[in-house]
Structure 1
Amino acid sequence: MATDMAHSLRSSRSSFGSSNGFETPSHNSFATSNGDDYDSDGSNFAPRGGLAHFIVCATFGLPIIVFCTPNTLSSVMPPELAGAIPSIDKFQVEGFLRAIQKQLNSAGKRGFFSKRTVGAQVREKFTFEDMLCFQKEPIPTSLLKVNSDVISRAVKLFQVILKYIGVDSSDRVSSMSLDERIELVSKLFKHSLKRSELRDELFMQVSKQTRHNPDRHSLIRAWELMYLCASCMPPCKEIGGYLSEYVHTVAHSISNDSEVQALAMNTLNALKRSVKAGPRHTIPGREEIDAVLTGKKLTTIVFFLDETFEEITYDMATTVADAVEVLITLPHMYTYISYLWVAGTISTEKLV
């Protein structure tokens, strides 16, 4: 049986090309057109259609590639993942699942995805859905197709995420101080803010840890991290389209934990703001991260040339343009608006 599977694998792989060491569908085969754009709850994301896509299952240590159209995938994927289907060619599905299988075999384990429980005599079959499910083990490679020079950094991002949400491979859930959490968030931003492909990878890794997470404390931490990421930077349009739909679904599902719903709604609103403003130019300061984590309001003083001033509030996602919009609504401020200067830092220097 293993011989037949190996033969099937070789036949299936004949239509695959290699890019950066990952197996990807040939761009000359299985071409389809999908012109469906979507705009979830007024967001600016519009993912593109693309190639016919595939599911990869790893059985008896061998990957089996099953080619599917987007319509076929829609019928087998849970509703909250439907938004990922038009952008599935951005994920390195086969490479990731093959690496997972190799990691399991070398460790003598049957599986560590939390989606299902596997019986003693049942072999695990890994799919694209599993790839986007919570796991307590480090990932062996990136979720998305990225340049080879950033794969190791993508893997390290996930290790920081695991530490932040308080999970390790021994099934223990650990807690940490606020200062430690702020330090970890700063580390994530430092390594991803300036690289768009790592920003997308970070978003996908964090969202992965929010799906089928069995521990409430860890789940809350994962959504907290999603909110922080969305407040600081936007994903690309394709990944943003999926995230927008997924977060919208979680935020409006009455079956979800109320705290999870609140964090998801905050994340959705932050995504809309960051898409409009673009990524920050500078890494958020300690007090900005602290304010998001603790719900504090940050304030700064705006001085005018007539020696008057106004105090305004801001957060990690606030731009100078946002501050100006607030000021022009205040009585007697319009005359002086073009002469204002701001004492302190208002999140980002970018005017949009």
Structure 2
Amino acid sequence: MIEDMLTHESKKPVPAALLPLGTDAIAKSIKMAPAVLRLATDLSIPDVELCNTLSKLVKETTKRNELRDELFLITLRHTRCNDDPKSLVRAWQVLHLTCASVAPSQTFLGFVSEYVNECANADASPGPVKDLAHKALLALKRSAKSGARRHPPAPEEIEALQAARQMNTIAFFLDETFEELPYDVMTTVGEATEALAGIIRLQNYQTFGLFVSTKQLMSRSSAASKGEEVTEETRALQDADLITDIIQEMRLVKAERKEQVQLRLVFKKRMFRDTDEAVQEAMFVNLSYLQAKHDYLAGNYPVGREEAIRLAAFQIQAEDGESLGQGPVETLAQVMVRFVPKVMLQQHPVEEWAAEVQRTHGALTQHTREEARGGLLRMIRSLPYGGSIFFQVRRIEDPIGLLPGMIALGINKRGIHFFRPTPMEYLHSAELRDIMQFGSSETAVFFKMRVAGVLHVFQFETKQGEEICVALQTHINDVMQKRYAQQAAKAAGAPKTPGAPAQPPSPVANGQAE
């Protein structure tokens, strides 16, 4: 039946859906067919209108996933039995843009791929058709990796693809510097992360990623009256997410929110791992330093006053050197907020902070900037909760009454750490070896862990349960791999006993730890 429709006269729209669809989807399909026919046959349509129309067609597929395959069939139909050379080329142009803008279902992907591949390599295909078919095949492979779109590409993004021109957006770093990030309608977050790492010449980028940062913007008067400060929320983006989807969502948030917000892409570490300490790459160390400094100044790492003074001295030597650290103490006092968390800074006169920091900095003047960055990183790593990534959660189940209602949850290579969130106050830690099991749903995460030698199940409300479990599993895997490597190295250096090969430790899987 489908084959008959595809080989039927393509200059007239089929007055029915090509695939079995629901009632609403059938009505949409019947409206889509004439629009695709006009795009594929009317050569007088300007590019702007073509891109606008295609964007609207793709929007329908984001509302009803079953229309993805229908749109492909409608478009494919105009590339078959088309004896008008110009119309045939236009039909393939539309198909190429469709392949880049829409991902067919997995069951339909094989059919579309096979057809496009045959046309790309058929001797009978004209040269322009072959070129467009090859482009369509490459676009199909890329779009299939990311799956269904959440939002249609903007018309200007489709127009850029048609002109083989990349778009640009801005990715920020934690020191407020930024880089232009090239993308097209098929670029995923994973591809963009790798591309940005190449631009800044970061070789060890595996622990870095892109985030969406949302800042609430308030005037000074409103901030003072509410007794609040501007807070920043960051959301990690998944590698399979499309950059165009992210940009569209940021635009929607800006348009919908009445209050002022600042949204932007941020490139930073996803997590600190045990293997980070062995990486000496300058860019890696610099970005890790920025991350540790950012998290510390945000109040995520509660420390004592002496530690805070030494951390401030390391920052001054890493960023300004003696010109600030050993200059007038009044000048240093004016910028202490750059080096000490605001909550701590309010506990003593700023002049006292500046004087103490200046004395401590005097012992660091012979350190290079790189050594000072390394000193701060070592201090942060030495904290029980240093190098954690943090999640805001709500307590659901606490069988021993250990925790308050709202909690900041930190996860690092040592285990799970619990804090009161505002201001950050350390409460309790559970080492990795004490976590027996963990798992998550869309709205919660649980841990079965040992507290004072007794197993208890703790459950928390969060939409980031999967991220929490992935972070925890990653650290457990790192520990197991390190242990196995040590055992293997020990076995390699010892006399081998026949019939007694070295055994790897029990694998960690499915959220369980031995």
Q: Give TM-score scaled by structure 1 length.
A: 0.56
Correspondent of 1:212 among 62, 75, 81? 81
**How far apart are the structure 2 equivalents of 1:205 and 1:332?**
44
Task: Show the counterpart of 1:268.
Answer: 137
Counterpart check, 1:131 vs 2:5: yes
The within-5 A match list for 1:169-318 is 174-318=43-187
The alpha carbon displacement at 1:330 in A equals: 4.2
Counterpart check, 1:148 vs 2:23: yes
**How far apart are the structure 1 equivalents of 2:52 and 2:107?**
30
Amino acid at match of 2:21: V
| Compared CA separation, residues 135 and 327, structure 1 to 2 (3 A) | same
Task: Show the counterpart of 2:245.
Answer: 348
**How far apart are the structure 1 equivalents of 2:212 and 2:83?**
46
**How far apart are the structure 1 equivalents of 2:209 and 2:83?**
54
Deviations 1:154-209 (A, max 9, x none): 11111101111135xxxxxx511122212211221122222121111000110111
Amino acid at match of 1:311: E
Task: Show the counterpart of 1:113.
Answer: none
Contact 1:305 1:339 in 2 (8 A): no
Amino acid at match of 1:161: V
**How far apart are the structure 2 equivalents of 1:257 and 1:153?**
33
Counterpart check, 1:157 vs 2:27: no
**How far apart are the structure 2 equivalents of 1:145 and 1:165?**
24
**How far apart are the structure 2 equivalents of 1:303 and 1:319?**
17
Q: Give TM-score scaled by structure 2 length.
A: 0.39
Deviations 1:283-331 (A, max 9, x none): 1112101112222221223222234433232100112221012223345
The alpha carbon displacement at 1:214 in A equals: 1.2
Task: Show the counterpart of 1:325.
Answer: 194
Give me the identity figure in percent: 39
Contact 2:152 2:245 in 1 (8 A): no
**How far apart are the structure 1 equivalents of 2:149 and 2:133?**
21
**How far apart are the structure 2 equivalents of 1:208 and 1:304?**
47
More strand per residue:
2
Amino acid at match of 1:227: H
Contact 2:75 2:94 in 1 (8 A): yes
SS of 2:181's equivalent in the other structure is strand
Tell me which of the two structures has the higher relative contact order, counting C-alpha pairs closer than 8 angstroms and 6 or more residues apart: 1
The alpha carbon displacement at 1:348 in A equals: 2.4
How many residues of Structure 1 are paired with residues of Structure 2 in the alignment? 218
Contact 2:78 2:91 in 1 (8 A): yes
**How far apart are the structure 2 equivalents of 1:299 and 1:333?**
20
SS of 1:262's equivalent in the other structure is helix
RMSD over aligned Cα atoms = 2.6
Deviations 1:12-48 (A, max 9, x none): xxxxxxxxxxxxxxxxxxxxxxxxxxxxxxxxxxxxx
**How far apart are the structure 2 equivalents of 1:141 and 1:287?**
31
SS of 1:306's equivalent in the other structure is coil
**How far apart are the structure 2 equivalents of 1:180 and 1:163?**
11
**How far apart are the structure 2 equivalents of 1:281 and 1:191?**
11
Amino acid at match of 2:243: I
Task: Show the counterpart of 1:338.
Answer: 208
Contact 1:223 1:264 in 2 (8 A): yes
**Unpaired stretches in structure 1, ≥5 consecutive residues:** 1-92, 94-127, 168-173
Contact 1:250 1:264 in 2 (8 A): yes
Deviations 1:59-115 (A, max 9, x none): xxxxxxxxxxxxxxxxxxxxxxxxxxxxxxxxxx2xxxxxxxxxxxxxxxxxxxxxx
**How far apart are the structure 2 equivalents of 1:234 and 1:279?**
6
Task: Show the counterpart of 1:77.
Answer: none
Contact 2:72 2:104 in 1 (8 A): yes
Contact 2:59 2:151 in 1 (8 A): no
Contact 2:58 2:102 in 1 (8 A): no
Amino acid at match of 2:172: F
Deviates more, 1:187-196 or 1:209-218: 187-196
SS of 2:63's equivalent in the other structure is coil
**How far apart are the structure 2 equivalents of 1:281 and 1:217?**
33
